Structure 1
């Protein structure tokens, strides 16, 4: 801890100075006795914490969330130690607050004897420069990572309690499928550090994505850092991984060595090839080579992780699957959280970035499904696909978009491919996770579709199903021949990165049957839960017509809990805008229904007088 300047503003209160103490702009507490009970607290201190009066309460109860390390520092100062400046993390009614506090010993007559004067300031409160920097920093970091067939990736960013803004992680998949992992940090903190971080990350990302070799890319990054005062002294570690063989090249400048966690939990440091930090006209790093075997995990982390221990442990135990609940974290997530839990100092002075790449025991298998052309089987298709995606722990966007793409294509095949035949044919679905992090979906049938209007101005002529597909997929190709139709759609597959400690929340958007219930009110509502698709849309139509008296009375259609909204559901909502009294549609942003309506451009008709439309 560093010695703070001698305090001048917050001296121990006395009767003649009570008013001045009370009016100090920063929170001040004085503790007494070995249990550190609060004897005095000024107005700013009481307003900061709120709730019951802190007087007479132990400090750890007056400041909720104060940990044992903090109390140990108070005890050391009370016992005659020198004044200290410390950083505390407390809980203010559910809001995490970081305090920078000066601890000064005070002597008092009486049985309680010595105490400690605590003068604090909140360093990351709402509206503070640090809070703004942290928000900008997190916006610059990737919120999701690619989902790869041979590897599971995990990313973590933990903001520092005092300094933040300079650490980053990134993953780039090149056109040939190579996986580039990078972590780094710049010297300093605040907006300048965040800007320098963004610049260096962009230089490296662009160079490697365009196929520049690792050594040349680092030389380019070194020159860029040397031209920017805020970039000089930055540290970086880069790994270029072959997703098929597990072989990888790695190099680092001023950065901790990456490590490999073996199947037995032992950590192996890759400490060859290090070079000084960037921008200092130093010798270039040596590019070294290694290999990740099935079941092993590669770890990259920035310098802040070692602030407390100075080194990684020799081994890293990981809790068994299911130890923290029914949904077990994947290996990359479990190893990342175990490493943070073992080494992360509390409170954390600077920020920490971490990347993990776990080589799967076997690549993700292709999902192959065949079903009769029957709308009643679409739910089974969606269930199988969702289970496949759920095992990959994909991001909400992928978990929402991909089942919609597949079920819309299958629904089109069911409705149109065999319209002119007596017996329903077959629909075949193939879902493949490619090495680039894309999912290639192929839906085939033995019949014929109507022509695809494509994504242009006439796109609605082909039906809303293809509109949804074109909106959600990266590319769509429809091949219609005399023997059948083959549709290929390519979608991005992403999984969440985590910008603070804690597990990734699980989200299941399908799986339950459609349920509808009436909610009394003015106007009354039809509350929807479960999937609205080709097989269930008739139930919703009947409920809306019943409650609205055939479309003549106001009604709310609440889709907040709808787990799927297919093009059949969108069509129904468009139909209801033509009712004499169109319903009000509630589909909040971020829900599956809200996102579908946003992507398909659902709006009220001009002739409804503003009575309908989606409220998000």
Structure 2
């Protein structure tokens, strides 16, 4: 014997001695059959131990217990015919043990997949015929010496005891029979089959689908393989799970034969179904952990993690309550409670029902604090002395599980049972594995939640919080981030009120949908707003934004559509920079894509030219600006997308522009790009404005000339009763412009509806300063205060390189005629 063989033989001898002492000690009288099979593997080094017992109903030797390697690895079936010539059948019939070396095993009717070095031992359980057998497979070449045979004989004798082997007819005979006719789908099943599926006879409708609906979905592919004709008519042995009415899982074993027609098509399946739960742990650990891992892999929020843990553990383990909490700076914050009703939890919880635990610091509950500090699960049986906050959670048993991740504890999970509950070794291993999976998923979900919050905050801060109320129209906007990748992008929109009843509509798209694009988008949006409020025309605003982006050197380009609408006149001007043109929905229901000239995208050419296209709007017109994410994708061309947009606009009632915006986004599901939509419904201000202007010359009599011009204009408009207030405002504003600025000065009057606007424009960018206080001896500074006092509105706006100081006062509405006066000198 070589060195390795001698070492193996010595180890096996020590194990055999241990097995003899254990079996002879009398301490194993209550040891279950499965535990004895496992002890055989430990004591002898065998790879498989299986027990077969006769079934009188089917005349088969049926498998009742097994341990070790899968029996299918050696070609061992679920059952053997009692009258056959297989080694188990011979041993049960004669009561004589059978010891087969490796070469003899293959020649004894076993599957040729049995490894060449494997040996087979088959021993009768009682030493008498007809009582079942113990089958052992060993892959060591020196198997079955005298000592080995003696140990297996002792185990076979112990398995023959009344408290180890299942009573005849209770385990192996308790099977149900069925026959499925594949051409009709009709299933004939006896009462035992229905009992195994937890169905009453009156509840079964004879359809195979009724039983398949109770099968765990993950096991259906394996179960349906019994109908695969490629296996021929040979019998198939399968195990699958069903879920009973109470939610618990049950393992069933199906032995079946498939009948084929003359052309090889399956016509009938018949066989038996038996309860296989006794051959497995109470909880299917591998399947449950696999299912939990698959669910947690798709969990993207902390609440998703909580729901996955509850679904995986509560009902399969029969727990009455499950609580999951995050650990934040030594404080436990509840993530999920199941059941969620306060009545299901202890009284102390009901009085402090909130998002945090009662006595929120973890140290307030020593049981939890210890588990989290040591990182070790704690299991408390019924009646265990626990702190008041935990006593009522699990009166029948309480499991406290720390949730680890990256070497630290990120939370805790508690499972409580109402009825007395015993924590088996399999269940503890399952809970430990589940806690590790939940901890990793919880930390990942927390990071995703923080990322989504950061992204949402960034996007909200870069886009307008709300759109301004507009005289003569309503503007609404929508923004949807891309569903793929980081959900923040470069699409933006804005509505900018300007002077003289004008408003600027802006929509744009920076290349990409990531944090860099979003940051650049914020810069461009701010710049365009600043240029617009300086009073520049549309082409100048877009040109300035283009030069800014080129100067930044971000290696990204942006598209933009900028539309200025005069809400009083109903006219508009459009400038495009490589962007989709506006789409109009006219009052008669027709639609059109504006044929607007455009220039290249922003950031491409610093000398680019952006022409202006005029538009005429009639009351009831809807102006639609959008980014390409709405009308273009990998499966949709731009022309087809614009046509779909026009169809939706034509079918939608324009009376509520909010509903129009929702309709445009109604068909947007999964998006490869961001989507931004800006709509303006133009209704007009009800009456056209009347304007008059005066170029103020720098002469000693300039203020007097301006006053006479204003007086004539007010008389022609029928506003002579407002003369004193208006002349006071004009005198102060014109005087300030002439005294404190250089260059041209212009006076403009605008009368619309029920207000009169007086505006003085000069070449100085410096705004007038309102004095904080004026003493009695002061000789100036009171003019601005007087203008503000008599005006309903007063302010200063940048205008080109200078500014415009304006004032508004209310005037009577309803004059008979509008006369357009336009005096200039």
> TM-score, normalising length from structure 2?
0.31
> TM-score, normalising length from structure 1?
0.40
Q: Which has the larger radius of gyration?
A: 2
Higher RCO structure (Cα 8 Å, ≥6 apart): 1
Structure number with higher helix proportion = 2
